[in-house]
A = this chain, B = another copy of it.
Amino acid sequence: MTRQTDRLPTVLQTLESSEPAALERLFELLRIDSVSTDPTFKDRCAEAAAWCAKTLTDIGFAASVRPTKGHPMVVGHLKAVAAPGQKRPHVLFYGHYDVQPVEPLAEWEYPPFEPRVTEDPKNGPVIRARGAQDNKGQLCTFLEACRAWKTVTGGLPVDVTVLIEGEEECGSPSLPGFLAEAGKELKADFALVCDTGQWDKDTPAIATQLRGLAGCEVFLKGPSRDLHSGLYGGPAINPIRALTAILGQLWDDKGRVAIPGFYDDVAELPPEQKAQWLALDKLDSQRFLADIGLTQSAGEQGYSVIEQKWSRPTAEINGITGGYQGAGTKTVIPSIASAKLTFRLVPGQDPDRVAEGFRAFVAARLPKDCTVSFHGERGSPAVGFDITQPYMKAAAGALKDEWGRDALMIGMGGSIPIVQSFREVLGMNALLIGFGCDDDRLHAPNEKYNMTSFTKGARSWARILERLGQQ
Contact = CB atoms under 8 A, between A and B. Distances in A.
A228 B330 contact: no
Contacts of A300: 234
A331 B316 contact: yes
B328 A319 contact: no
A374 interface: no
Copies in the complex: 2
A325 B319 contact: yes
Interface in A230-270: 230-238, 240-241, 243-251
Contacts of A224: 292-294
Given A229-B318, A292-B225, A317-B244, A237 B332 contact: no
B324 A289 contact: no
A320 B320 contact: yes
Nearest to A288: B235
Interface residues on A, range: 35 or more
Interface in A192-248: 197, 211, 213, 215, 217, 222-238, 240-241, 243-248
A326 to B, nearest CB: 6
Interface string A413-439: 111000000000000000000000010
Interface stretch (A76-84, A351-359, A441-449): A441-449
Contacts of A170: 328-329
A71 interface: no
Interface in A310-345: 312, 314, 316-334, 337, 339-340, 342, 344
Which 8 pairs of residues, A with B, have the shortest CB-CB distance? Answer: A230-B414, A248-B248, A224-B293, A37-B328, A234-B308, A319-B323, A237-B298, A226-B444
Given A318-B333, A331-B414, 7 more contacts: A101-B326, A217-B329, A223-B294, A226-B443, A233-B309, A244-B248, A318-B330
22 contacts: A169-B330, A171-B328, A215-B331, A223-B292, A225-B293, A228-B414, A228-B443, A234-B312, A240-B247, A243-B244, A244-B247, A244-B248, A246-B248, A294-B369, A295-B369, A296-B368, A298-B368, A316-B333, A319-B325, A320-B323, A321-B325, A329-B376
Interface of A: 37-39, 100-101, 103, 169-171, 197, 211, 213, 215, 217, 222-238, 240-241, 243-251, 285, 288-289, 292-300, 305, 308-309, 312, 314, 316-334, 337, 339-340, 342, 344, 367-369, 376, 378, 412-415, 438, 441-445
